[in-house]
Amino acid sequence: MEETLKVLVVDDDEVDRMAVRRALKAAGISVQLFEANDAKSAIAHLQDNSFDCVFLDYRLPDQDGLTLINDIRSRNIKAPLVVLTAQGDEQIAVELMKAGAVDYLSKSRVSPVTLTQVLRNAIRVYRAEMQVALVNQQLRESNELLIRKNQELEAQQRQIELQNLKLKEASLLKSQFLATISHELRTPMNAIIGFSQLLLRPKCGDLSPQQRDMVERILNNGKHLLMLLNEVLDFSKLETGRLSLKAEIFDLSEVVKATVAETFSLAEAKKLSVQVQNNLQNSMVFNDPVRLRQILMNLLSNAIKFTESGSIGVDVKELPDHQIEIAVWDTGIGIAPSDLKYIFEAFRQLDQSLTRKYPGTGLGLPIVDALVQMMGGEITIESQLNQGSVLRIVIPRQVSLSEQQNQDGSSKISQVLPSKKTLSKHSDVFHMVQEQVPKERTM
């Protein structure tokens, strides 16, 4: 069924209005026709009805067509406007189209064919324009929404940045506080340890068995507390970037041997067997022996602490490209696969309860991880529940010192290299180290 169109004809000439009516009827278009003979009545019709098309005479008794079109648009009345012009008014029609008319038609050319064509084109163009206007409105609304969302995101980002700044500041203050309090506590703790050791010496007088037991407990607990304080102090230095490597050439096998010997009594107390396998053909390395010993001590202490029976061990071997692997293993309680991702997080322990079986600060492995990274190496772990764990460290035979370390003077290569005579039996290591030293610093 054909759509019935609502059409308004605005013309003060009855003959011209009749011509439009006849043409529409002859064209067979289903039309509900409205008529107005001046601008005032035209506005009244347009405010009360929604028209599919308006045929508008340019010359009206109370208003010209241009003024009427501007009045219609100012009232935000939506309808396609087709201007009916007299002979010779084509230039005026162009101006009217610029003002908002969709098309124009000379009254001398009004016929069923032309009128139908102009009507349908005007409706099609108008509806297309309305669709474009609707899409543009939607785009504007979407753009405004995106702008508001962007502003909200920017505000949130600024808030997050402010919070991050506050968190960094709080973290820095925390690290500084930890460093200060750890440093301050170490002095009285060293005094407690020193006086305890002094009391245990024979020249200070004989102690009863009960007194000796009490002093030994004070000494052991003091050493344990000092170790915890040292961990906190080292961690705070690492966080604030105040810890640097002091590298020198040393025998890695001797460091491994000495560290294992130092922890042997702890393993023996739990009746654990200790195995060391050293496959180094050349045990000379250029690194920080104190920090490397600290790494081994942490790993061995952990292995002993978490192993109730069985054995622990250290395997050292050479890898290609001047790399060395140190593996510390145990047959202890192991770690669940879901917990492996947490073991290098600071202050985190798998058992966080106050009644946990294995005490500690939760800083040992994070410190080890940070030190290994400073040495240009990497640490990996393999573990199975109730079967044990293996922590592997791969480090370069010669650590690369940062420029900042060289500027500090804390670990300049030229200051730690021994003489050629001392290195004569380790000439291959000496040549390898010399290749990395700038010419102006060679001896």
pLDDT digits (tens, 9 = 90+) for 269-300: 899 999 999 999 999 999 999 999 999 998 99
As a whole-number percent, the residues of the chain with pLDDT over 70 amount to 84
Does the pLDDT value for residue 442 go beyond 50?
no
Given a cut of 70, whether residue 163 has pLDDT beyond it is yes
Q: Give the homologous superfamily in CATH for domain 244-441.
A: Histidine kinase-like ATPase, C-terminal domain (3.30.565.10)
Per-residue confidence band for 127, with pLDDT thresholds at 50, 70 and 90: confident
> pLDDT at position 220, please?
82
Does pLDDT of 232 surpass 50? yes
- For residue 28, the one-letter residue type is G
Q: Tell me: the pLDDT tens digits for 19-76?
A: 988 998 888 888 899 999 999 999 999 999 989 899 988 888 888 888 888 888 888 8
The residue that leads in pLDDT, 119 or 350, is 119
**pLDDT given at position 295:** 92
> Which pLDDT score, from 0 to 100, does residue 406 have?
43
DSSP letter assigned to residue 61: S
Q: How confident is the model over 236-245, as a mean pLDDT? A: 75
Q: Which of 432, 298, 297 is nearest to 364 (CA)?
A: 298
Please check the confidence at residue 141 and state whether its pLDDT lies above 60.
yes
5-110: CATH topology: Rossmann fold (3.40.50)
Mean pLDDT for 185-213 is: 84
Q: What are the distances in angstroms from CA 166 to CA 159, 172, 181, 235, 346?
A: 10, 10, 22, 21, 20
**What residue spans define the domains of the chain?**
5-110, 168-239, 244-441
What's the distance, Cα to Cα, between the start and end of the chain in Å?
Answer: 105
Class of domain 168-239: mainly alpha
- Taking residues 175-200, report their average pLDDT: 80
pLDDT above 90: percentage of residues in the chain: 33
Q: Residues 418, 419, 423, CA angle at the centre, nearest 5°?
A: 80
pLDDT at residue 87 in the model = 64
pLDDT at residue 410, as a whole number: 39
Total-model pTM: 0.50
Q: Per residue in 301-316, pLDDT tens?
A: 889 989 999 999 999 9
- Residues 342-361 have pLDDT tens digits of 888 766 665 544 444 555 56
- Rounded to the nearest integer, the mean pLDDT of the chain is 81
Contact present, 193 and 219 (Cβ < 8 Å): yes
pLDDT of residue 361: 61
**pLDDT recorded at residue 349:** 60
Contact in structure between 61 and 42 (CB atoms under 8 Å): no
